[in-house]
Structure 1
Amino acid sequence: MIITLGITRPIRHLMLRTIVKIKRARIENFCCLHNVDVSFEEITSFIGPTGVGKSTVLRALDWFFNGERSLSLSDDDVHSAAKGGRIVVEVEFDGLTAHDRETLGRYAPDGVESVSVWRTWQNGEDKITGKALAYRPFEEVRKLEKATDLRRAYDGLREGNASLDLPRVVSKDKALEAMRTWELAHREQLTESEIEDTHFFGFAGQSKLGQLIDFVFVSADLRAYEEADDQKTTALGRILDHAVDRTEANERLGEIEESAHLARQEVHTKVYGPVLDDISAALSSEVARFTTGRQVVVTPTVHAPKPARTTFQVSIRDGAAETSVHRQGHGFQRALIIAAEVPG
């Protein structure tokens, strides 16, 4: 999916490497946008005079997908006409495949053609919410943050409604697993609920949308060469994470480092061992004059290096010359990032 905007400003591009598709976005009280509803096609262009909010639509989406990694909000970002100081960016996705449904789980059950997720900000609090099918009494239990409170509520529900036939559990995770298993087996008793869930963007290590869609905003003032570094937050880094499996190399490099560490320990023991044994014995003898039952032991400490990690770099060959991306013009730098993000 490609979104462009321009006319009175240099063109900006938003690139989405995606399986699911954005159907629409609703933006409320974000900077200069009071209440805007935008529909999207395979290629979408925003055309208009300076100051109407073309770039702001894209920056709102950037915040929706990437949060504080892209933009840290404050009260200054709330529209002046907002009541209550609440920012909302809601995105509806369609074109769901079987793989999408499996990844999104209860947020995209069979028969549902689209899924909506919205991110809200108010008074410094950032929340992510989605619509999902759930058993409402379970949702009251899931809202409890403390493990003891959640287990107590689960036990109360299990004992108070024996027809649910819920199993006994010994932990919060087991309680959550039991409720989810029950919901999968009793779809007819589920209703649509609005559920806060940071797992959409991976804050708890379970990025649901992150497995299906990747967002890169390339602005006219972007120092694009920075996006060509192999870092987790850059365009190149995210492309490599999707395309390159570093597991085998990391494991083999780890074995090399472990062998080297053992060799270093052996060298330290042979070189320093006899001297340190003498020092230990001398110190122990002196300490024994003042106390009993204790000995001093001096040993070498071998500091293991950090695990080796393969990183990649991009260079540009222009005729006989090969230079870094940093030395290329800004136009080429942006072209490189855009080209890297075009699907297919």
Structure 2
Amino acid sequence: MKIKRVRIENFCCLHKVDIAFDEITSFIGPTGVGKSTVLRALDWFFNGEKSVALSTDDIHSAVAGAGGERISVEVEFDGLTDFDREALGRYAPDDAATVSIWRTWDNGEDKITGKALAYAPFDEIRSVLGGAMAKRKAYNELRESTPSLGLPPAGSEKAVNEAMLAWERAHRDQLTEAEVEDTHFFGFAGQSKLAQLIDFVFVSADLRAYEEADDQKASAIARILDHAVDRTEADAQLGEIEENAQLARQAVHDDVYGPALKDISDALSVEVAKLTTGRQVIVTPRPYGRRGRPRRHSG
């Protein structure tokens, strides 16, 4: 799956921009026209919940202070694989060549929306205000008024959502295109649909070395290296070396400390037997690290 087109509205210096992407896309232009701003808008689209928070300062001057201050970044993807379709579910049906997802910031409210196939009456239930009870009521009313749907009873909002999704998967011929809000795209609820498909890393031209000094997952360079360097084989070999080394250390400790600790164990057991029955003390060596000797003997 790859980016096909990006549409940006009211983000910083970009009022309305529509950009088609190819295998390699270059932005060429003088300083200050918004080349980096396009990438920053994409950074907010993919990583807004983690590190990129917007404010009224990010609104384009044409709409700032005019009410209805809304920022929008829409990304259209193509080149969908079977893995992509499985992860995106109803947002990428088998007959769809592309999938569109957009993120909006409207007077401080951050929303994520995608175009999906849905059953229209279910969309009405999903949009019902008033919380879980109101949605359950709307679902039960539809279930009772249209028994031919064969909807199961549902006692919670989660059960309602699962029942509607299951019905939609089984009745694809009755679905139509709809705009569906869904926080699961970026893992807010632990599902992270896009995170398992694309990891967008924005490396600024003024990136400072000290900001990347720690090799952490969140750093831009570390994330790029995770994708560019396959550590699987090295990790497997290093893990085997460490396991063998641990076994060798244990053998040395058993050989050197074992006899003495057995004598200590026997002596302690004799003393404990004077106070209680059925008890025994066993002291064993515990190796520490690659070079160290045990700081204490444990039993």
Question: CA separation of 1:139/1:224 partners in 2, compared to 1, >3 Å: closer, same or farther?
Answer: farther
Divergent runs of 4+, >4 A: 236-246
Residue 228 (structure 1) shift: 5.5
Residue 120 (structure 1) shift: 0.5
Question: CA separation of 1:54/1:204 partners in 2, compared to 1, >3 Å: closer, same or farther?
Answer: same
Query: Which TM-score applies when normalising by structure 1?
Result: 0.62
Residue 129 (structure 1) shift: 0.5
Number of residue-to-residue matches in the alignment: 228
C-alpha contact 1:62 1:70 (8 A) present in aligned 2: no
Secondary structure in 2 aligned to 1:159? helix
Residue 170 (structure 1) shift: 2.2
Q: Letter of the aligned partner of 1:172 in structure 2? A: E
C-alpha contact 1:201 1:209 (8 A) present in aligned 2: yes
Aligned partner of 2:170 in structure 1 is: 185
Match for 2:187 among 202, 205, 210? Answer: 202
Instruction: Spell out, residue by residue over 1:21-49, the C-alpha distance to the aligned partner (whole angstroms, 9 max, x if none).
Output: 10010011101101111111111111111
Question: CA separation of 1:146/1:74 partners in 2, compared to 1, >3 Å: closer, same or farther?
Answer: same
Looking at structure 2, the residues matched to 239 and 43 of structure 1 have their Cα atoms a distance apart, in angstroms, of 17
Higher strand share: 1
1:29 aligns with 2:14: no
Aligned partner of 1:222 in structure 2 is: 207
C-alpha contact 2:11 2:59 (8 A) present in aligned 1: yes
C-alpha contact 1:228 1:236 (8 A) present in aligned 2: no
How much identity, in percent, do the aligned residues show? 71
1:118 aligns with 2:102: yes
Match for 1:211 among 196, 199, 209? Answer: 196
Question: CA separation of 1:228/1:195 partners in 2, compared to 1, >3 Å: closer, same or farther?
Answer: farther
Whose RCO is larger (CA < 8 A, sep 6+)? 1
C-alpha contact 1:202 1:208 (8 A) present in aligned 2: yes
Q: Letter of the aligned partner of 2:135 in structure 1? A: L
Looking at structure 2, the residues matched to 228 and 117 of structure 1 have their Cα atoms a distance apart, in angstroms, of 34
Aligned partner of 1:161 in structure 2 is: 146
C-alpha contact 2:8 2:15 (8 A) present in aligned 1: yes
Aligned partner of 2:53 in structure 1 is: 72
C-alpha contact 1:131 1:195 (8 A) present in aligned 2: yes
Aligned partner of 2:36 in structure 1 is: 55
Secondary structure in 2 aligned to 1:25? strand
Aligned partner of 1:94 in structure 2 is: 78
Query: Which TM-score applies when normalising by structure 2?
Result: 0.71
Unaligned regions of 5+ residues in structure 1, if any? Answer: 1-19, 250-344
Match for 2:159 among 152, 160, 174? Answer: 174
Looking at structure 2, the residues matched to 71 and 115 of structure 1 have their Cα atoms a distance apart, in angstroms, of 24
Rg (Cα) greater in structure:
2
Secondary structure in 2 aligned to 1:215? coil
1:234 aligns with 2:234: no
Instruction: Spell out, residue by residue over 1:67-124, the C-alpha distance to the aligned partner (whole angstroms, 9 max, x if none).
Output: 0533221112111112621111100000001110000000000110000111111111
Alignment of 1:243-254 (within 5 A): none
Residue 232 (structure 1) shift: 4.1
Q: Letter of the aligned partner of 2:48 in structure 1? A: G
1:140 aligns with 2:117: no
Looking at structure 1, the residues matched to 158 and 219 of structure 2 have their Cα atoms a distance apart, in angstroms, of 34
Looking at structure 2, the residues matched to 228 and 151 of structure 1 have their Cα atoms a distance apart, in angstroms, of 51
Aligned partner of 2:23 in structure 1 is: 42
1:81 aligns with 2:66: no
Instruction: Spell out, residue by residue over 1:137-193, the C-alpha distance to the aligned partner (whole angstroms, 9 max, x if none).
Output: 111222346222222211111011111110112222221111111111111111100
Looking at structure 2, the residues matched to 240 and 156 of structure 1 have their Cα atoms a distance apart, in angstroms, of 53
Looking at structure 2, the residues matched to 224 and 149 of structure 1 have their Cα atoms a distance apart, in angstroms, of 53
Which is further off, 38-47 or 94-103?
38-47
Which is further off, 204-213 or 68-77?
68-77
Instruction: Spell out, residue by residue over 1:291-323, the C-alpha distance to the aligned partner (whole angstroms, 9 max, x if none).
Output: xxxxxxxxxxxxxxxxxxxxxxxxxxxxxxxxx
